[in-house]
A and B are shown apart, each in its own frame.
Chain A
Amino acid sequence: MLQAFQEFWLYFPLLQNTLLAGSIIAIVAALMGYFLIMRGLTFAGHALPYVGFAGAAGAVLLGIDPVFGLFAFTLAGGVGIGFLGKEAHARDITIGILMTFALGLGLMFFALYSGYAELVYSYLFGTILGISQQDVLVTAVCSLIAVAALIVMFRPLLFSTMDPIVASSRGIPVYALSIIFMALVAIAVAMSIQIVGTLLVFTLLVGPAATAIRIANRPLWAIILAVFLGLLYTWLGIFLAVVLFNGTLPVSFFIATISFSVYLPIRLLSPLWIGRGIRRQRNQEQQVEIEFEHLKARECVAVEVKQESFK
Chain B
Amino acid sequence: MLVDLLHESIIRNAFIAGTIVAIVAAYVGYFVVLRSQSFAGEALTDIGFAGATGAAIFGVSSLVGMLLFALLSALGIGALGERMRGRDIEIGMFLSFALGIGVLFLSIYTATGSAHSSSGLNILFGSILSVTTTDIQLSLIFGIIIIIVTTFLFRPLLFASIDPEVAQTRGIPVRTLSIVFLLLLAATVTESVLVIGVLLVFALLIAPAATAALLTHRPRTTVLVSIMLSLLFTWGGLSLAFIGTFGEHLPVSFYISALASIAYFIAVIARRAHLLQPPRRTTAPVTTRVATMNRKA
Contacts and interface: CB of A to CB of B under 8 A. Distances in A.
Contacts of B120: 117, 121
B39 A92 contact: yes
Nearest to B205: A96
Nearest to A202: B96
A257 B102 CA distance: 11
Interface stretch (B14-22, B66-74, B258-266): B258-266
Interface string B68-94: 000000000000000001001111111
Interface string B104-126: 10011011000001101100110
Contacts of B39: 42-43, 46, 92, 96
B119 to A, nearest CB: 10
Given A104-B258, A105-B258, A121-B120, 4 more contacts: A42-B91, A101-B262, A117-B120, A206-B96
Pick from A103, A107, A253, A256 the residue with the most CB of B within 10 Å: A107
Contacts of A103: 199-200, 257
B104 A253 contact: yes
A42 B100 CA distance: 17
Contacts of B210: 93, 97
Contacts of A45: 92
Contact of A117 (B117, B199, B260, B268): B117
A207 B101 CA distance: 15
A192 interface: no
B97 interface: yes
B107 A125 contact: yes
Nearest to B111: A248
Interface in A105-126: 105, 107-108, 111-112, 116-117, 120-121, 124-125
Interface residues of B, number: 53
A94 interface: yes
B103 interface: yes
A97 B39 CA distance: 11
Interface in A65-92: 88-89, 92
Given A96-B202, A117-B118, A252 B100 contact: yes
Interface stretch (B169-177, B218-226, B246-254): B246-254
Contacts of B117: 117, 121
B42 A255 contact: no
B103 A97 contact: no
Contacts of B38: 43, 92-93, 96
B99 A104 contact: no
A93 B104 CA distance: 29
A206 B38 CA distance: 18
B88 A104 contact: no
A250 interface: yes
A267 B92 CA distance: 13
Contacts, number: 163
B131 interface: no
Given A104-B200, A248-B111, A257-B97, A206 B251 contact: no
Contacts of B251: 107-108, 111
Given A43-B42, A112-B248, A117-B117, A206 B92 contact: yes
A247 to B, nearest CB: 11
Main secondary structure of the interface of A (DSSP, over half): helix
Interface of B: 33, 36, 38-39, 42, 85, 88-97, 99-104, 107-108, 110-111, 117-118, 120-121, 124-125, 199-200, 202-203, 206-207, 210, 248, 250-251, 253-254, 256-258, 260-262, 264-265, 268
Interface in A228-256: 248-250, 252-256
Contact of B89 (A37, A100, A202, A259): A37
The 8 closest A-B pairs by CB, nearest first: A256-B100, A104-B257, A101-B261, A260-B97, A253-B104, A203-B96, A100-B202, A89-B36
Nearest to B259: A104
Contact of A108 (B36, B89, B254, B260): B254
26 contacts: A40-B88, A42-B39, A42-B92, A46-B95, A92-B39, A93-B33, A93-B38, A96-B202, A100-B260, A107-B200, A107-B257, A108-B258, A111-B250, A116-B121, A117-B117, A200-B100, A203-B99, A206-B89, A206-B96, A210-B93, A248-B111, A249-B104, A250-B107, A253-B100, A259-B96, A267-B93
